[in-house]
Amino acid sequence: MTNPSDYTPPKVWTWDKESGGRFANINRPIAGPTHEKELPVGRHPLQLYSLGTPNGVKVTVMLEELLAAGHAGAEYDAWLIKIREGEQFGSGFVAVNPNSKIPALMDRSGREPIRVFESGAILLYLAEKFGAFLPTEARARAECLSWLFWQMGSAPYLGGGFGHFYAYAPSKMEYPIDRFAMEVKRQLDVLDRRLAESEYVAGPEYTIADMAIWPWYGALAKGWVYDAAEFLSVQDYKNVQRWTDAVFARPAVKRGRMVNRTTGEPSEQLHERHDASDFETKTQDKLQAAG
């Protein structure tokens, strides 16, 4: 193994220098707002404050699926929160999510607005509100919620663990890359075995469990995140590959993946979504062509 750092932790950790690596400028050890800034409010019942990362995509896919299934009450405004610029620390955003992370949702359809944060909680809230994409029979519902929470517990090892040390850390360190590559491959195997026996993650139906898991593990299987497809031999997980393609074939997934996206092909970036027609007229390629 390569030589580990000769760093000895001090008795008490203090915040006196940047940690280095991508996102170092937004990392801080204290919660709460850094500045005053109200959030915008659009005309629809649901106001989403987000960014097109895997956690954000879970919610925009759900909203697009609900609309495609005919739930008009799921109309939404999706506002862009630029986390690299610290917008998650504005007072308005912190009031919706005290944890200062996207995605955050305000449901303004009732007399009093309801805030929801944590992508898993948002998926569950919307599934219950509209009676969709969450089985009602006890065993099937338990299976769906088990996989939903599996994702919430597992993805930090993929993103904060593997992704951070393999792609973002200022230097490549064998110990953490090894540790988290092992865990991520184990997770892919868990998923692959499940998908060998079941069409979708929670059973024969497509549910919020698929919507939570696909933006992370489907993206990994496609080589869209961390440039790690070869390193992790993702093509070996045949059932994950089959399911990834099946989910990606859904038009609502394609649309949901475009919302609040600020990277990749301009034609696939819809920075903000305030109307269904925005997919035709407001993608970055169209806005750039219009000058």
Ligand X SMILES: N[C@@H](CCC(=O)N[C@@H](CS)C(=O)NCC(=O)O)C(=O)O
**Span interacting with ligand X, options 14-22, 101-109, 163-171, 251-259, rule CB under 6 A:** 101-109
- State the nearest-atom distance from the C-beta of 117 to ligand X, in Å: 7
Among 47, 55, 244, 269, binds ligand X (CB under 6 A): 55
The strand order across the sheet containing 76-80 reads 76-80, 46-50, 104-107, 114-117
CA-wise closest residue to 207 among 155, 138, 140, 116: 140
Burial (CB count within 10 angstroms: exposed 0-12, middle 13-18, buried 19+), residue 271:
buried
Cβ proximity to ligand X: between 134 and 148 the closer is 148
**Other Cβ atoms closer than 10 A to 104:** 30
* Min CB(137)–ligand X separation in Å: 26
88 binds ligand X (CB under 6 A): yes
Does position 118 interact with ligand X (CB under 6 A)? The reply is yes
Contact yes or no for 200/147 (Cβ under 8 A): no
Shortest reach from residue 226's CB to ligand X, in Å: 13
Does position 164 interact with ligand X (CB under 6 A)? The reply is no
Tell me the closest approach of the beta carbon of residue 26 to ligand X, in angstroms.
5
> Least distance from C-beta 271 to ligand X, angstroms?
16
* CB 23, min distance to ligand X, A: 7
Which is closer to ligand X, CB of 100 or CB of 284? Answer: 100
Our CB check for ligand X shows the closer of 101 and 261 to be: 101
CA neighbor of 273 nearest in space, from 67, 118, 120, 133: 67
Place of tokens 């800034």: 37
Q: Per-residue x/- mask for ligand X, residues 119 to 138, rule CB under 6 A?
A: x-------------------
Tally the C-alpha atoms within 13 A of residue 252's C-alpha that lie toward its C-beta: 15
Which residue from 64, 76, 101, 215 is in contact with ligand X, where contact means CB under 6 A?
101
CA 11 to chain centre: 36
- For residue 136 the two structure tokens come to 């009602």
**Binding residues for ligand X, total number by CB under 6 A:** 11
Using CB under 6 A, pick the residue from 49, 52, 53, 62 that binds ligand X: 53
DSSP 57-110: HHHHHHHHHHHHTT-GGG-EEEEE--GGGTGGGBHHHHHH-TT--S-EEEE-SS
> 47 or 88: whose CB is closer to ligand X?
88
Identify residues 23-52 at the interface with ligand X (CB under 6 A): 26
Exactly one of 47, 60, 100, 260 binds ligand X (CB under 6 A); that residue is: 100
User: Using CB atoms within 10 A of its CB, is residue 10 exposed (0-12), middle (13-18) or buried (19+)?
Assistant: exposed
Instruction: Give the strand pairing for 46-50 and 104-107.
Output: antiparallel
Question: H or E element: which one contains 247?
Answer: helix 238-248
The residue (of 86 and 275) whose beta carbon lies closer to ligand X is 86
Tokens 């064998």 belong to which residue?
174
Query: Can you tell me which of 48, 63, 66, 83 binds ligand X, judged by CB under 6 A?
Result: 83
Question: Which span (36-44, 63-71, 100-108, 188-196) binds ligand X, by CB under 6 A?
Answer: 100-108
Give the interface with ligand X as residue ranges (CB under 6 A). Answer: 26, 53, 55, 83, 88, 100-103, 118-119
